[in-house]
């Protein structure tokens, strides 16, 4: 007799396994522990076999019969349903291993050790927020150009055109890695060249007029936040290094007696030397009393980690500055570059070396951390004196290497 839902529900476990048969080889195995397992009894190649069809009540009688019928169709076509299930499972596992997300994370793991942490965070953030939710589970070899374009359009429509271009670039890198590792045959993102409007690249917002700089410096001194962030704000214009390099500075890199800071430039992976003006040394000595026993000069809420990358810009916004149009943490570099050259008349190559930019010379573009060190030391002190004079409202005369009058 065929099984019924009532008979299945009422089946009680005994001290031995029970087999409650339905039709055409389907039966329910009731274990002494109370489990109820669907099984299909069949013959293939002259041997009797059993195939699991699921667990009751997750799989009801109707669905179990549907699975039985599908298995029997395979048998009718000369296919062992047990072998077919193993093949399908292997294919599913392979598809999961070759999904866009799996390949992308593998690519990221290979590439990111050579990147600055801030860059790595941005790349994985774009993939996790803008790509994986829609393409992550798809086999990378099956993804089409229109699918990638749909992802890019979602980013573009929220007004983040530059991010859309970067997502496009990252997708292309993942596809090319998939090709190199035998998981895809072509980079479909290449079909989308020109599909997005050109991004307008703008410079970081900065203040470069001396009168505006004076007001900014006075605002920095009046910042009412934590002492750590206040010191970072006061040092940012004095040192004009990249924001990520400032916030991750470590005490072990400083020699305050020699007034020097040595660290590895995040962008070029080259060693850099920053001569410290006496004003910078004074701020650092004051801060050392608070954080000197820590690894980082500017520790965050978790003192084992550096200050947040958003802290400087957040502080500027608290002081009323628009970080899109007026000044950003990165804008202190443009401030120094402009004023040192146009107002204090320092040579461009000296400034560029202090900015840790690669400067072409007879030996190529290799950066020399000690080049112009005497001039750079004089320039950094003159710059600090100039900023003090601006802040105090003193008239500053551009007389070149001697600095302030």
Residue whose structure tokens are 């810009």: 313
Cα 340–Cα 346–Cα 350 angle in degrees, nearest 5: 100
Residues 6 or more apart in contact with residue 248 via CB below 8 angstroms: 117, 296, 306
Q: Do 218 and 391 meet the contact criterion of CB atoms below 8 Å apart? A: yes
Residue whose structure tokens are 């080259």: 270
**Residues 242-246: contacts with CB within 8 Å, 24+ apart?**
242/266, 242/267, 242/330, 242/333, 242/356, 243/309, 243/312, 243/328, 243/329, 243/330, 244/116, 244/117, 244/118, 244/309, 246/298, 246/312, 246/329
Catalytic positions are: 242, 267, 330, 333, 357, 367
Strand-pair category, 254-255 with 26-30: unpaired
Q: Do 260 and 254 meet the contact criterion of CB atoms below 8 Å apart? A: yes
For 235, the token pair is 């040092």
The 3-state DSSP class for residue 169 equals helix
C-alpha pair distances (Å), 308 with each of 243, 305, 319, 373: 10, 9, 18, 31
């Amino acid at each position: 007799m065929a099984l019924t839902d009532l008979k299945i529900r009422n089946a009680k476990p005994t001290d031995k396994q029970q087999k409650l048969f339905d039709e055409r080889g389907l039966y329910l195995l009731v274990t002494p522990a109370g489990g109820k397992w669907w099984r299909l009894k069949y013959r293939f190649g002259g041997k009797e076999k059993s195939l699991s069809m699921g667990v009751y009540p997750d799989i009801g009688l109707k669905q179990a019969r549907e699975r039985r019928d599908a298995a029997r169709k395979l048998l009718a076509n000369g296919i062992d349903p047990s072998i077919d299930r193993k093949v399908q499972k292997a294919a599913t596992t392979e598809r999961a291993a070759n999904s866009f997300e799996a390949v992308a994370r593998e690519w990221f793991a290979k590439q990111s050790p050579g990147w600055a942490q801030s860059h790595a965070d941005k790349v994985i953030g774009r993939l996790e927020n803008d790509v994986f939710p829609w393409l992550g589970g798809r086999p990378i070899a099956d993804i089409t150009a229109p699918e990638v374009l749909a992802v890019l359009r979602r980013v573009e429509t929220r007004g983040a055109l530059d991010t859309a271009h970067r997502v496009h670039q990252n997708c292309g890198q993942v596809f090319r890695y998939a090709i190199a590792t035998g998981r895809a045959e072509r980079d479909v993102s290449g079909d989308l060249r020109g599909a997005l409007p050109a991004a307008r690249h703008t410079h970081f917002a900065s203040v470069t007029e001396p009168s505006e700089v004076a007001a900014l410096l006075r605002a920095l001194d009046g910042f009412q936040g934590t002492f750590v962030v206040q010191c970072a704000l006061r040092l940012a214009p004095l040192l004009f290094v990249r924001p990520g390099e400032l916030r991750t500075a470590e005490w072990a890199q400083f020699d305050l007696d020699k007034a020097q800071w040595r660290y590895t430039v995040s962008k070029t992976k080259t060693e850099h030397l920053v001569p410290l003006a006496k004003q910078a040394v004074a701020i650092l000595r004051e801060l050392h009393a608070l954080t000197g026993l820590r690894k980082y000069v500017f520790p965050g809420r978790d003192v084992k980690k550096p200050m947040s990358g958003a802290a400087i810009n957040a502080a500027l916004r608290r002081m009323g500055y628009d970080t899109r149009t007026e000044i950003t943490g990165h804008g202190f570099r443009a401030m120094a570059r402009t004023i040192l050259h146009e107002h204090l008349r320092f040579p461009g190559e000296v400034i560029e070396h202090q900015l840790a930019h690669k400067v072409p010379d007879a030996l190529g573009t290799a950066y020399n951390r000690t080049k112009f060190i005497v001039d750079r030391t004089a320039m950094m002190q003159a710059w600090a004196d100039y900023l003090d004079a601006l802040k105090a409202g003193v008239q500053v005369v551009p007389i070149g290497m001697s600095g302030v009058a």
